[in-house]
Homo-oligomer: A and B are copies of this chain.
Amino acid sequence: MSQTQARAVSRAKPGRSRADGARSRGRILDAAEQLLSERGYAGTGIAAISQASGLPASSIYWHFKSKQDLTGAVVERATERWVEALEASEPGPKAPTDAIVAWISRSIEEMGRRLPFFMRLSLLLGLELGPREPALMERLRRGRVLIHRVVRGSLERVLAAEGIPVDAGLADEIARLAMAFSQGAFISGVLEPESIDPGRIPEYIETGMRAIMEARMAEVTS
């Protein structure tokens, strides 16, 4: 369905051409992304997406074959954007350890703030759907794995480059903990806006990361 890509190639300058399915598809995704991340899967109706995007339900079903399919596309696009933004801000492999640690703590917090859709989508849909929608869950999981890999990769490369003796699992562990904490802090902010000072989140992550790393190093040498 929707070979609009091919058409866009053969017709480089659309000049507001026809009904413009590619643009419509994007608008549907935008509306669905916002509604899904706010109200969840069951709470978001096709009618609401239709109204928010300004397109009739039949258009939604022309571009996507079901609500599930649309949701999957939303998750995929949000994941891609998140990973792109993460990689774009990633420091080089020769950055000092301090810079990497600071980058991780800062960027995780920043992504949660600048791109809240994926954060909310991943948490809300993950909790709501569970094993009853395995296809969607798998998509969500893949997104999280991707992000984890970027974070872990930075840690690993830099620690190795500095000759710090880090076993294979440590970077993995630290990356997971950083993600878990920033998730928790994000939700705390949603539920109790006055709870945790968002500006301090990088500091918390950094302090925690260092403490765990030191504890692990101490274990190894003892």
Contacts and interface: CB of A to CB of B under 8 A. Distances in A.
A195 B66 CA distance: 31
Contacts of A212: 204, 207-208
Given A123-B123, A127-B127, A180-B185, 20 more contacts: A39-B132, A40-B128, A41-B43, A42-B43, A122-B191, A123-B191, A124-B128, A126-B191, A127-B190, A141-B191, A145-B192, A176-B196, A180-B181, A180-B188, A180-B195, A181-B181, A184-B184, A204-B212, A208-B211, A208-B212
A38 B128 CA distance: 6
Interface residues of A, number: 43
Nearest to A189: B180
Interface of A: 38-43, 120, 122-124, 126-128, 130, 132, 137, 140-141, 144-145, 176-177, 179-185, 187-188, 190-192, 195-196, 204, 207-208, 210-212, 215
